[in-house]
A and B are shown apart, each in its own frame.
Chain A
Amino acid sequence: MSTEVIIAGLYVFALAAFLGYQVISRVPPLLHTPLMSATNAISGISLVGSIVTAGAHYNTVSTWLGFIAVTASTINVVGGFMITDRMLRMFKRQPALKKNSAQEQERT
């Protein structure tokens, strides 16, 4: 790996770290659980690495490891975004309509 590639990678890492710190310290404690599931879904981007490993047929072992990795990271991506949305939908500013709350009651 050439020095330029390494240094460019480290630049990206350092800048992402600063940016991440700035952005994430603004997230209110109210949304810390959705934040955790959202960042988890986003880091499921390791799916892109898994996809190449699963599809490139380097050798049988790599293909199998890649297949498991694709499955695991897809669980995170799909599940993570869906559950984040499910949580965020629940956060409401105004008191919700009585009808909704009655329905919620019946379900539990």
Chain B
Amino acid sequence: MGLWIELTYLAASVLFILGLKGLSHPETARRGMILAEVGMLLAIVGTLLHREIISYEWIIAGLIIGSLIGGAISIWVPMTAMPQRTALSHAFGALAASLVGVSEYYRHGTGELGTFKMTALSLEVLLGGITVTGSLMAFVKLQDWIRGTPITYRGQNVFNMSLFIVTVGMFGYLIYDPSVHVLFYVMAGLAFVFGVLLVLPIGAADMPVVMSLMNSYAGLAAAATGFAISNNVLIIAGTLDGFSGFILSILMCRAMNRSITNVLFGAFGAEVEASSAGAFGVMREVKAEDIAVQLAYAGQVTFVPGYGMATAQAQHAVRELANVLEARGVTVKYAIHPVAGRMPGHMNVLLAEANVPYSSLYDLEQINPEFSSTDVAVVIGANDVVNPDARDNPKSAIAGMPILDVDKARSVVVLKRGKGKGFAGIENPLFFKSNTGMLYGDAKASLIKLTEAVQHA
């Protein structure tokens, strides 16, 4: 019997890898996911035959409740809330891993745990605990239940570091002597506290990095579970998840020209901006009708969406405007910055929801050379990712961050809620340029107005 279970796990591992390989192209992605689903089903059925299981009532109850909750969330969650859902799912995954860890310790903790198993168990509970509360903090910030700006206090980094060192110290001692029960539970508790403290000082604009990191930790916690209960499919799936999150965090950091340390401990966007060169002049406010004329007679229009498009739920309105423009023979493209939005790929999913074909979505490297031949660039609720200061002003707080070169377009239209600064509190010289027009108001309302105006142009 044991052999059959192991074989289902082997098959599941292979299918998971094939499934992820499918994600290298949108055409093959769905088929890949079906393979992964089959793998998961095999592994679950195999596990149900495990000889240590003596009754099924709790398993079945958990499977049913979990399926109902998971299914309900995934059917009803709006695409704009995808970052929140993902944060929650990291928390659930990590919760499962840390609970299995606690249960294993509770069961074996009287000295029969070897050094290796104890290391794996402690890592599992540590990473799991940090991820549960860290992701919940991210969820609360994304959901706007607490303000998204960094929450800082004097001596924060020192306090966090000391707590971290104490926790790691406990971890070390437990490996040396696993039988100190109190220490294990205190360590688990501290891991939960540390997760909150870690995410507290991180601003909402840095969420793509936090999401990726939590993704990585949740995976590594699952891999540690695999080591603790000697289960290879868990090691493989957890490692794949862990590395995926790790790669994404590196990509996100690179897209902001920041190090992970800086994101985690820099409390970016909290300090009052002092380095910008002061006022740049006046912002030119334009009327929707004037922009509509420009758009209607343009050769190429490039939309640059940011988080503002998500908050205004404006993706469908963008698509409507694009439809009208395309019907008039205008070439429409979409420029997607890697950290636009609150999680990796956020903007792509929203535009896909609005039926924008993915062949019109362009990455930073693809679209940047094209801005000089773009007639109108329409910036929808994006700010820092189009700030020319990042490229031109070495003193800027975001100096060196790769940006979309919208300022090179013949004219720029910025759809913005109000005259205030962007999220990071940094002045944006783009808004003061002579060829930039500002259209204030809710992005969705502005786009609808533009669409009507273009139809009459």
- On A, residues with C-beta under 8 Å from B are 1, 5-6, 8-9, 12-13, 16-17, 19-21, 23-59, 61-63, 65-96, 98, 100-101, 104-105, 108
Least CB distance from B3 to A in Å reads 16
- Residues of the B chain whose Cβ atoms lie less than 8 Å from the Cβ of A94: 357, 359
Residue of B nearest to A64 (CB): B58
Residues on B with beta carbons closer than 8 Å to the beta carbon of A93? 26-27, 357-359
**Which residues of B38-71 have CB atoms within 8 Å of chain A's CB atoms?**
40, 43-44, 46-48, 50, 52-56, 58-59, 61-63, 65-67, 69-71
Q: Residue B215 contacts which of A1, A40, A101, A104 (CB distance < 8 angstroms)? A: A40
Residue pair A29, B238 in contact (C-beta under 8 Å): no
Q: A48-B234, A55-B53 are in contact. Are A76 and B70 (CB under 8 A)?
A: yes
Is B103 in the interface zone, CB < 8 Å from A? yes
Q: How far is the CA of A18 from the CA of B402 in the complex (A)?
A: 28
Per-residue 0/1 for B397-437: is the Cβ within 8 Å of any A Cβ (1 yes, 0 no)? 00000000000000000000000000000000000000000
**Could you say which interface size class chain B belongs to?**
35 or more
How close is B365's CB to chain A, nearest CB, in angstroms? 10
Residues of B290-308 contacting chain A, CB below 8 A: none
Instruction: Give the CA-CA distance A93 to B358 in the complex, in Å.
Output: 6
Besides A46-B96, A53-B100, A88-B33, 17 other A-B contacts (C-beta < 8 A) = A17-B239, A20-B240, A24-B244, A27-B23, A29-B251, A29-B345, A30-B345, A30-B361, A38-B36, A39-B215, A43-B93, A43-B240, A46-B222, A54-B62, A87-B349, A91-B352, A92-B358
Bound-state CA distance A83–B323 (Å) is 27
A29 and B355 contact, Cβ closer than 8 Å, known pairs A43-B237, A75-B73: no
Minimum CB–CB distance from B194 to chain A (whole Å) comes to 20
Closest 9 CB pairs of A and B: A74-B66, A70-B62, A79-B70, A32-B345, A33-B345, A55-B53, A32-B344, A43-B241, A78-B70
Contact A108 to B313, CB < 8 A, known contacts A23-B20, A83-B85, A93-B359: yes
Residues on B with beta carbons closer than 8 Å to the beta carbon of A108: 313, 316
Interface centre among B58, B96, B225, B231 (most CB of A within 10 A): B96
Name the A residues within 8 Å of B29 (CB-CB): 31, 34, 88, 91
A44 to B79, CA, bound (A): 22
Tell me if B226 counts as interface (CB < 8 A to partner A): yes
Measured CB to CB, the residues of B under 8 A from A are 9, 12, 16-17, 19-21, 23-27, 29-30, 33, 36-37, 40, 43-44, 46-48, 50, 52-56, 58-59, 61-63, 65-67, 69-71, 73-75, 77, 79, 82, 85-86, 89-90, 92-93, 95-97, 99-100, 102-104, 106-107, 114, 116-117, 211-212, 215, 218-219, 222-223, 225-227, 229-245, 247-248, 251, 313, 316, 319-320, 323, 336, 338, 343-346, 348-349, 352-355, 357-359, 361, 363
Partner of A51 from B44, B67, B241, B313 at Cβ < 8 Å: B44
Say yes or no: A65 contacts B33, CB within 8 Å.
Answer: no
Assembly CA distance A33 to B219 (angstroms) = 16
Instruction: Provide the bound-state CA to CA distance between A85 and B357, in Å.
Output: 17
Interface centre among A5, A25, A53 (most CB of B within 10 A): A53
Q: A40 near B86 (CB under 8 angstroms)?
A: yes
Complex contact B357–A62 (CB within 8 A) = no
Give the chain B neighbours of A69 by CB distance below 8 A.
62, 95-97, 99-100, 103
Q: Closest residue of chain A to B98, judged by CB?
A: A69
Cβ–Cβ contact B70 & A96, under 8 A: no
> What does DSSP make chain A's interface, helix, strand, loop or mixed?
helix
Number of A-B contacts (CB under 8 A): 374
A92 to B346, CA, bound (A): 16
Query: Which residues of A sit under 8 angstroms from B82, Cβ to Cβ?
Result: 33, 83, 87
Contact A36 B244 (CB under 8 A): yes
B30 contact from A28, A78, A79, A88, Cβ within 8 A: A88
A16, B59: Cβ atoms closer than 8 Å: no
CA–CA, A41 and B28, complex, Å = 18
- Which residues on A sit within 8 Å (CB–CB) of B248? 32, 35-36
Residues of A within 8 Å of B44, CB to CB, are: 47-48, 51
The one of A47, A52, A59 that contacts B52, using a Cβ cutoff of 8 Å: A52
What are 25 A-B pairs at a CB distance below 8 A? A8-B232, A13-B227, A13-B235, A30-B26, A36-B244, A36-B248, A39-B240, A42-B16, A45-B12, A65-B100, A67-B59, A68-B62, A68-B96, A69-B100, A70-B59, A72-B66, A74-B63, A76-B70, A81-B40, A83-B77, A90-B349, A95-B355, A104-B355, A105-B316, A108-B316
Asked if B222 and A45 make an inter-chain contact with CB atoms under 8 angstroms apart, the answer reads yes
Asked if residues A38 and B65 are in contact (CB atoms below 8 Å), the reply is no
Asked if B355 and A100 sit within 8 Å, CB to CB, the answer is: yes
Point out the residue from A33, A54, A88, A96 that lies within 8 Å of B344, measured CB to CB: A33
Q: Are A23 and B71 within 8 A (Cβ)?
A: no
- Shortest C-beta distance, A32 to chain B (Å), equals 3
CB neighbours (8 Å) of A46 from chain B are 93, 96-97, 100, 222, 225, 234, 238
**Known A43-B93, A45-B222, A90-B349: A38·B357 in contact at CB below 8 Å:** no
Q: Collect the chain B residues with CB atoms within 8 Å of residue A36's CB.
A: 86, 211-212, 215, 244-245, 248, 343-345
Set of chain A residues within 8 Å of B73, measured between Cβ atoms? 75, 79, 83
